[in-house]
Amino acid sequence: MEDLVIVIMEAHANTEQLAVVIERVDSLGLQAHVSAGAERTVVGVIGDERPVDPALFEALPGVDRVVRILHSFKLASRDFHPADRVITLPNGARLGGPEVLVMAGPCAVESREQLQATAAAVAAAGVRVLRGGAFKPRTSPYSFQGLGEKGLRLLREVADELGLAVVTEVVTPEDVPLVAEHADVLQVGARNMANYSLLRKVGDAGRPVVLKRGLGATVDELLQAAEYVLSRGNGDVAVCERGIRTFETSTRFTLDINAVPVLKHLTSLPVIVDPSHATGRADLVGPIACAGVAAGADGLLIEVHANPREARSDGAQALDPATFAVLMARIGRVAEAVDRRCA
């Protein structure tokens, strides 16, 4: 895969400064294409195998700016891997194929009773992947941080009773082996999207990965983070839009719905939408889940709690089982309207 950056010389750069730029292009084994206007000269730099680092030109004298034209990820790009990647889970559920895969469960595993009741409810509604947090990254050090290993064991046991696959978050590199022992899919949360030590470790774990977009990260950076995992030889990565930080305060985050078709265009990795975290409000989860599917998402991550008002975290965004069952039917209808079906 090629790369291309444009070096824009200052309005009054002289020929000596231009020569230094071209010399550097040559020294890096890249090709330079010079376009000289009456006032400005620009140099197109074309690389062949690896991304060209704009920083190598930005500090040269006479250079005004350097603009990257192509994307700085390779393995994650649809150019490199045109066909949709499909991730098949141990229980046969598939992510990235014709079906829209719904993953549901509580924000945090709180107890066996809570988890069993919730898991049974989502399974009854047709769900095949159980989500639930055992390690919870919390903004405040004084908030409930999850049950840890005990939570992982509960997830595995309850899921196995119901034939469900398990997706759960891992928050630190040293926990990767433990989480990989119990879970079918490792989730990297938004706060850890740029935690490169964790990404490398997760890339080595031999499990599918759900990688959430950081709340201040661009689509391009999300795919570069995916590249960290892919570059370890793990191709089973799904990326998840879960809302970004904007000035709007009526919802916790702003779901970047545009990112769904943008990602489908740029990458062949499956794309997931998380309407629960993106809105923070249970009454918005349904409309946004449907919007995600209509926009082309391959999967959804939805928080469901057997009794939301007793939830120890994020109760305001959890659906109760009855509401969720109605939503599942609606999601199925929307999926069919856009030529998909709901797994």
CA distance linking residue 281 with residue 247, whole number of Å: 17
Note whether 324 and 300 are within 8 A (CB).
no
Residue of 93, 282, 327, 343 interacting with a copy of itself (CB under 8 A): 282
Comparing CB distances to a copy of itself, the nearer of 151 and 165 is 151
Residue of 19, 26, 61, 112 interacting with a copy of itself (CB under 8 A): 61
CA distance linking residue 251 with residue 123, whole number of Å: 29
**Residue 236: enclosing H or E segment and its boundaries?**
none
Residue of 179, 257, 300, 342 interacting with a copy of itself (CB under 8 A): 257
Helical pair 219-230 and 196-203, crossing angle rounded to 10 deg: 40
Comparing CB distances to a copy of itself, the nearer of 97 and 275 is 275
Residue of 94, 148, 191, 325 interacting with a copy of itself (CB under 8 A): 191
The answer to whether 287 contacts a copy of itself (rule: CB under 8 A) is: yes
Comparing CB distances to a copy of itself, the nearer of 72 and 268 is 72
Note whether 198 and 229 are within 8 A (CB).
no
Segment lying near a copy of itself (by CB under 8 A), choices 87-95, 159-167, 180-188, 331-339: 331-339
Segment lying near a copy of itself (by CB under 8 A), choices 2-10, 89-97, 117-125, 179-187: 2-10
The answer to whether 260 contacts a copy of itself (rule: CB under 8 A) is: yes
The answer to whether 83 contacts a copy of itself (rule: CB under 8 A) is: no
Binding to a copy of itself (CB under 8 A) within 93-112 occurs at none
Helical pair 321-337 and 282-294, crossing angle rounded to 10 deg: 20
Residue of 79, 84, 157, 204 interacting with a copy of itself (CB under 8 A): 79
Distances (CA, A) of 20 to 4, 25, 26, 63, 259: 19, 9, 10, 10, 39
Residue of 221, 235, 323, 325 interacting with a copy of itself (CB under 8 A): 221
The answer to whether 39 contacts a copy of itself (rule: CB under 8 A) is: yes
Comparing CB distances to a copy of itself, the nearer of 119 and 335 is 335
Say how many residues make up the chain. Answer: 343
The answer to whether 337 contacts a copy of itself (rule: CB under 8 A) is: yes
Only one residue has tokens 């719904």, namely 102
Determine the 3-state secondary structure of 229 from DSSP.
helix
Neighbours of 234 (CB within 10 A): 18
What's at 198, amino acid-wise?
Answer: L
DSSP 8-class letter at 338? T
Angle ∠(261,262,267) on CA atoms, nearest 5: 100
The answer to whether 27 contacts a copy of itself (rule: CB under 8 A) is: no
The answer to whether 148 contacts a copy of itself (rule: CB under 8 A) is: no
